[in-house]
Structures are given as structure tokens and as C-alpha cells.
Amino acid sequence: MERRLLLVFALTFLVILAFQPLLKKYFPQAVPPPPKTQTQNQPGQSQPSAPAVAVEQKSPAANQKSLNIATKAAAAESETVIENDVYRITFTNRGAQVKSWILKKFDDDNGHPLDLVNSTASQMYGYPLSLWTYDQGLRDKLSSCLYVVSTKDSTAPDQKNVRTITFEYADKDVSVSKAFKFQLPSAAGKSKADGTDYVVGVQTSVVSNDHPVQAFPMWPAGFGDQTNIAFYAASQIEYQNNNDTERLAIKKISSGNTLAGPFDWAGVGDQYFAAVFIPDDPQSSALITLRNAIDAPSDAKKPQETKKADVLGAAVGNPKGPTNERLYVGPKSLQLVESVPVPTMTDASPDLRTLVNFGYMGSIARPLFLWLRWTYEKMVPNWGWAIVVQTLIISLALLPLRIKQMKWSLKMQKIAPQMKSIQEKYKKYSIRDPRKQEMQKEIAELHKRE
């Protein structure tokens, strides 16, 4: 038995030795790892090649491209001021956003020119014309990095002076460009401001790894005239597509919600002012609704007594690539908004007139308001007296109808006892009784006699 076992072991050993050449020829062999103590190539020696998936070598051209991209950023923070007859806008290159948007023709509660930037809410939720992205980290980065600023002046075909401010930033991860166009006073001057003076051109583009990033210019945090809870409560998200105008109340709005277009215009407004984006291409537009909480005083005279209020904002842009649009920031004055063209509308008046909400009785209220404005401009340059004059004219126009109504009332009072007597006479008969018709005849004859 022991001899047989030894014979089996011997034969197995011989078989293994015999098959060694075949194993080396037909089966791959493991590559021994390089010595750990070797840190440099010896002259004249070649290194064994590593598997292709282990290390990806970049070409010199690719490395040079990466170096060229990460080059555009400002060294320090700076401010740029744009001013015309109706506004004074202060930009900061930190985030390429607006710190102050003063309307010269309107005053705040303290008698100073009204700043439409809500400073308290903006510090918490973002400044106007910053960019909204779905990535919170990228959003914070775009609103905090230092952009390189350049300015260019030109003359439009209608002889209006135009100033373009461009903000640019780029690093190895992202490239950003934001350009804003402003209408400045012409050399000949201008007799009267219209709605186009409140309009700013907006062009933005964000690219990461050669792909466009969804980044929407926004007005994120209410308005500077909102000094108490009542003003915040009057805020709405508003938008229009041809004949359809929608106004979303606060309770219907959730922050970060995306509404797909088309939109001829869309934005946020309160009772008196609005910030409205007008896309060049309504079909390629989307609206992001913004809603956040803020502590606001119930009474502006008692700022220490605060309650929670909702502050609304809106971001509008092209979700498929660069955004090209205009932005109206100004009062909800019918005369001004009617002068802001919206050429993409085909089935409605091509302007912003529906920003002024006349309610469900708009077919009557709007003509009356236009008449009142004409009275103010042409007859009595005081709104109070203009209302008095309009009321007197309406009363005079309705006077014949009122006189007729008064005569009818006096007549009814005079014949009331006789009518009561007739009704008592036929009271015993039922409604279906033919004799009840006699009562109606007697009443008719009584009206004729009187």
C-alpha cells in the first residue's frame, strides 16, 4: 500500500514537470511588481508598460488648454454705476450683481429716492441679476466669485446712447459671461421718459466642461418699498403668453418650482412695482418661482415688532443654453408699461399693459381710468380734483335717469294706499282664481290715471 502511494506521488511530480513548457506558452504569466526602492529610471533601461486603464496620460495640448481656461478673474472687488434720467444702478463685480437700483422719480417713506433692492432680504436670498442654478454649490460660487468688468458705449439706430457692461469669469470648472445693456440719455436730450427707459438688456451664458449649464437671471428677494407685512402680502408671480395672463398668489407658490414656457413676459411684482423678464424667444423660456421667509414689521413705525412674511422672487431664462432677454424694473404705471414693446405677442396688445390689473370689471375700469388720466393731464393737474371733476361729469350725465327714478318713486308712494286697497279686495281669492286677473287690471288702470 505504501509503495503504491509513493508511486502515485512520483508520477504526479513527473506530469507537473512535463507540462511546465506548455503552461508558459499558452497561459499568461503575472508581471512581478517593480522594486519599491526604485524611484527613477536608470539610464539605458526601459520601464515595463502599465495596463492602459491604470493611468491616463494627457497630451501637452490638453494640458495647455486647461491652463488657458483657468485665467479670468478680477483681483479685487469693485463697483460700477449706471445712471440715466429714471434710475441709478450700482453693480458689484462680486457675483456680477446689483447692490442698488434707485428710481429717481419715486421716494421712500423717509423722502429719499426709492431703492427697489430689498437690502435685508437680498443679503439672505440673493441680489438682483445674480444667477439661479439647480446646483446650490454652483449658485453660491457664481454669486461670490470676482468677475472681470469691461464697458462699451455705442449709438443705437434711433440715436439713443447705449452702454454695455460685460462681466466675465472662468476657471478650470466653469466659464461665465454676463452682459447688460442700458439706454442712456441722448446728446439732444429727451422731453419725456417712457417705459423703455426702465428696460435693461440681459445676456448670460454659463458653460461647464464644454456643456451649457442651466443658469437663470433672477430678481430673488422682493422690493425695497416692502416695509411691512401688508406690502409683502400684496406680492405675486405674474406671467403672460399671448391672451393668457396668470397671477399666482403667495399660497400657490413653492420655492424652486419650475414652470415651463412659453412666456412673453414673466416676473414678480407687488402693488406698485414690478421686475419683469421679456425673453427674446418665448418658446425657449422657463420660470423659476422663489419664495422665502423674512421677519417683517406689522407696522413700519414699530420696526421692533416683527412677524414672519413671505418674500417672493423669480428667475427667467433659457433652460437649453445662453439666455437673451430684457428686464423691465419700474412702476406699474399704465402709461409706462404700454410703451414697453413685446413684439412676440400676436393675439394681444404687444406690450406690458396687463401688468396693471383692473380685475374682472376691467372692460369698464380701464376706460374710466384712462379718462381720469386725461382729466389730470389736460384739465386739472391734481389727482384729487381730477376725481372730483370726473365724479361731477358722471353725475350730470346720469341726472336725467335719476330724475326719472325719483318721479317714479314719488308716484309709487302716492298710489300705495289705493294699491293696498285693491289687494285687500281680492285677497280672498287664490292665485289660480280667474277673478285674480281683475286685480291686475285695476292696478294697471290706477297707474294710467296717475
Tens of pLDDT, residue by residue, the chain (450 residues): 455 555 555 556 565 655 555 445 444 444 444 433 333 333 333 333 333 333 334 444 444 444 455 688 999 999 999 999 899 999 999 999 999 999 999 988 888 999 999 999 999 999 999 999 999 999 999 999 999 999 998 887 766 788 999 999 999 989 999 999 998 876 555 556 688 999 999 999 999 988 999 999 999 999 988 888 888 888 999 999 988 899 998 989 999 899 998 999 999 999 899 999 999 999 999 999 999 998 888 776 777 788 899 999 999 999 999 999 999 999 999 889 999 999 988 888 899 999 988 877 777 888 888 888 888 888 888 888 888 888 888 888 888 888 888 888 887 887 778 877 877 777 777 777 777 777 777 777 777 776
d(CA 172, CA 195): 41
d(CA 434, CA 305): 74
Residue ranges of the domains in the chain? Answer: 79-357, 384-449
Give the residues across from 314 on adjacent strands: 219, 289
Selection from 109, 112, 173 nearest residue 141 by Cα: 173
150 φ, ψ (degrees, to nearest 5): -140, 150
Residue with cell 469669469: 169
CA dihedral (391, 393, 394, 399) positive or negative:
positive
Radius of gyration of the chain (CA): 39
Helix, strand or coil, per DSSP, at residue 140: helix
Cell of 152: 462699451
**Residue ranges of E strands in 108-187:** 113-115, 131-132, 148-155, 161-170, 175-184
CATH architecture of 79-357: Distorted Sandwich (2.70)
Residues 411-439 as b or e (16 or more Cβ within 10 Å = b): eeeeeeeeeeebeeebeeeeeeeeeeeeb
Dmax (CA) for the chain in angstroms is: 153
* Pairing assessment for the beta strands 216-219 and 175-184 based on DSSP bridges: unpaired
This prediction's pTM: 0.73
Q: In what order do the strands lie in the sheet containing 216-219?
A: 131-132, 216-219, 306-317, 286-297, 257-260
d(CA 405, CA 392): 19
